[in-house]
Amino acid sequence: MNRAAMIHGPYDDAGDGSGTGYVMEQGFIIDGIHFMYISLEGDLWLDRVQKVDGRKTLYLGMCEAVKLASGVTRGDIVIQEIYDRLSKMSGWQFLVREVLVSDTASVDFELLRW
């Protein structure tokens, strides 16, 4: 994990490609294509990113983000703890320990042919 910045947006686009409102987040690049950060609202996000050519620590958000937690107050420590915990789990462990722990859990899987 290395410190990096990610730019995502535009958020004021009228649908014609004229948007100019972008947001820069500070966080960590995880594996070259995933970026973990805490938003100003205190939400922990994991976003798929693409590296900006010629910039060592700048990435573009690919609009494929997942909110992992809300109300985060401990900053970088939480990112490291969550990364450590998730990276040690198999897909099955994640599913049964994290996703299916609630009575209201609803999950849709897109099945692909191999």
Span 30-87, pLDDT tens digits: 988 999 999 989 999 999 999 999 999 999 998 888 888 888 888 788 888 888 888 8
The reported pLDDT for the residue numbered 36 is 94
pLDDT over threshold 70, residue 89: yes
pTM exceeds 0.85, yes or no: no
Q: Per the domain annotation, does 93 fall within a domain?
A: yes
Q: Per the domain annotation, does 108 fall within a domain?
A: no
Domain count across the chain? 1
Boundaries of domain holding 33:
2-101
The reported pLDDT for the residue numbered 33 is 92
Q: Per the domain annotation, does 68 fall within a domain?
A: yes
In the predicted model, what is the mean pLDDT of residues 96-114? 64
First-to-last alpha carbon distance for the chain, in angstroms, is 32
Q: Per the domain annotation, does 54 fall within a domain?
A: yes
Burial tier of 114 (Cβ tally within 10 Å: 0-12, 13-18, 19+): exposed
Q: Per the domain annotation, does 19 fall within a domain?
A: yes
Q: Per the domain annotation, does 112 fall within a domain?
A: no
Q: Per the domain annotation, does 52 fall within a domain?
A: yes
Q: Per the domain annotation, does 57 fall within a domain?
A: yes
